[in-house]
Amino acid sequence: MPLALLALTLGAFGIGTTEFVVVGLLPDIADTYAVSIPTAGLLVTGYALGVVLGAPVMTGLGTRIARKRMLLGMLVLLVAGNVLSAVAPTFGVMLTGRIVASLAHGAFFGIGAVVAGSLVAPDRKAGAIAIMFTGLTLATVAGVPLGTLIGQQFGWRLTFLLVALVGLVGLVGVAALVPEQPAPRDARLVHELAVFRNPQVLLAMAMTVLGFGGVFAAITYLAPMMTEVTGYAESSVTWLLVLFGLGMFVGNLIGGRYADRHLMPMLYTALAALAAVLALFTLTAHSKPAAAITVVLIGALGFATVPPLQKRVLDQAAGAPTLASAVNIGAFNLGNALAAWLGGLVIAAGYGYTAPNWVGVALAVSALGLAVVSGVLERRPVRDADDAQRELVATH
Domain boundaries in the chain?
A: 1-183, 194-396
pLDDT in tens, 324-347: 877 888 888 888 778 878 888 888
pLDDT at 386: 46
In degrees, rounded to 5, the angle at the alpha carbon of residue 324 between the alpha carbons of residues 306 and 363 is 45
Residue 206 is predicted with a pLDDT of 93
Give me the chain's average pLDDT, please: 86
Measured on CA atoms in the order 365, 367, 369, 371, is the torsion positive or negative? negative
Mean pLDDT by 10 residues, the chain (396 residues): 87 90 82 85 82 84 83 95 96 95 89 86 82 86 85 92 95 92 64 80 92 85 86 83 88 85 90 96 95 95 88 79 79 82 85 92 96 87 47 46
d(CA 342, CA 361): 12
Nearest to 266 by CA among 300, 314, 232, 289: 300
- CATH code given to domain 194-396: 1.20.1250.20
Print burial letters for 250-275: b (CB count within 10 Å at least 16), e (below 16): bbbbbbbbbbbeebbebbebbbbbbb
Same fold, 1-183 and 194-396: yes
Instruction: Using alpha carbons, select from 102, 108, 146, 110 the residue that is nearest to residue 12.
Output: 108
CA distance 237 to 227: 8
Q: Environment class of residue 298 by beta-carbon count within 10 Å: exposed (0-12), middle (13-18) or buried (19+)?
A: buried
Residue of 265, 322, 281 whose CA lies nearest to 114: 322
How far apart are alpha carbons 235 and 92 in whole angstroms? 30
Residue 393: per-residue pLDDT: 41
Q: What is the pLDDT of residues 97-118, one digit of tens each?
A: 999 999 998 889 888 888 888 8
In terms of DSSP H, where are the helices of the chain?
4-33, 37-40, 42-61, 67-87, 91-118, 125-138, 144-154, 156-177, 189-194, 199-219, 222-224, 237-259, 263-284, 288-303, 306-316, 321-348, 355-395
At residue 183, the pLDDT reads: 64
Written as one letter, the residue type at 108 is: F
Per residue in 82-100, pLDDT (tens digit) is: 999 999 999 999 999 999 9
Beta strands in the chain (DSSP E): none
pLDDT at 101: 95
In this structure, are residues 247 and 296 in contact, taking their beta carbons and an 8 Å threshold? yes
pLDDT of residue 198: 87
Element (H, E) at 287: none
Topology of domain 1-183 in CATH is: Growth Hormone; Chain: A; (1.20.1250)
Whole-angstrom Cα distance, residue 372 to residue 380?
12
